[in-house]
Chains A and B, each alone.
Chain A
Amino acid sequence: MHQGIAFRTAYLVTGSAEDAEEAVTSGFLKAYRAIGRFRRGKPFRPWLLAIVMNEARNRRRSSARREHLALRAAEERRPGDAAPSPEAAILEDERRRALLDAVGRLPEEQRLAVVCRFFLDLGEAETADVLGVRKGTVKSRLSRGLERIRKELPDDA
């Protein structure tokens, strides 16, 4: 459902369920009003996500607080899997926390490219449509973003 991915998009950008809900609501409303500008034959999802993404960015910018994304509890993430040792689980959580923080510190353009490609699992073309840039720009933003994360996070972190 577009509603699900729209909310996920808005939440990953704002870090707040309330802001995300507002972003999706006003984004859908804007999409509805602008449906006449939607070009037939073009995929609908990136067009809608671009509007929602924009709403979410505006809300994040205007919000005084910086919400941080949280990780789910380790046991929720591994239904049915063999549980790692407590030490391994702690290390894994630390690494993930550090990774998430590093993504959060990226400049907005790079962060949104990472969110689209890796957290929303959009293809390069779709990411480009959502962000309103060329595919080459997506590639360079991702490359610079990943480079920055690598510098912040040593392999053994």
Chain B
Amino acid sequence: MRDLERELRELSSAIMVPPTPDLAGAAHIRLGATRPAASWPRRPVVLALVVAIVLVAGLAVSPARTAILRFFGIGAVQIEFVDRLPAVEPSVPLALGNKIDPSKAPFPILRSDLLGDPDAVYARGEVVTLLYGSPDRVRLLVTEIGHSVLAPELAKKIVAATTNTRFVDIPGSTGPGIWIEGAPHIVVLADAPPRLVGNTLVWVQEGRTLRIEGAAELDDALRIAKSMR
């Protein structure tokens, strides 16, 4: 009697399956290119798809090889989920870069109608930070990165798997944003040293990746996000 189960397993490799289409690559190219105005309504879908695919691709990373359980991207920011946060210096001074005149930022920055002018603006490479408060007493930081293509060398977050994260809809944003709250997580911006931060909202708007650090509640962060223009 033939071993039907073995036959079926062998049959599996004989079935002609077309090569997997390069969905992520195609979407990345589309996202990176300047798109004609007529096609802009498709962008949120494309971005969400890129994020989803990056997420899914990230989950393929074997936990046996690395402590990263999964990672995905929201715009330029790569968000890595790990078993345990690596140790960082508890009191790393803010290293936001050089204080600049906002009009000299490497790209036109968005501002918050709600918050008004920041107390200072800093740039570190392509990462611009609007500081509310003072470097010693930070009330709020709004970080802007001038593009929305994943760039872990510019912006990376390392989040313990147990930290609360949720996707949120932000009017005016391209695709959903992410809210990270609860236990502090690590942020690495450009070549600044890693530092521990609290609740943060990250989203993509008008081709920029934005993040708000220091809002106590999601509602506050959302109100600020909605006011950015």
Contacts and interface: CB of A to CB of B under 8 A. Distances in A.
Given A71-B16, A99-B7, A44 B70 contact: yes
A12 B17 contact: yes
Interface residues of A, number: 44
Interface residues of B, number: 35
B37 interface: no
Contacts of B4: 146, 149-150
B60 A31 contact: no
B8 A114 contact: yes
B18 interface: yes
B227 to A, nearest CB: 25
Contacts of B59: 2, 44-45
Contacts of A100: 11, 15
A77 B17 CA distance: 12
Given A48-B56, A69-B16, A7 B21 contact: yes
Interface of A: 1-4, 6-8, 11-12, 17, 20-21, 24-25, 28-29, 31-33, 35-36, 40, 44-45, 48, 69-72, 77, 95-96, 99-100, 103, 114, 118-121, 146, 149-150, 155
A35 B57 CA distance: 14
Contacts of A8: 17, 20
B20 A7 contact: yes
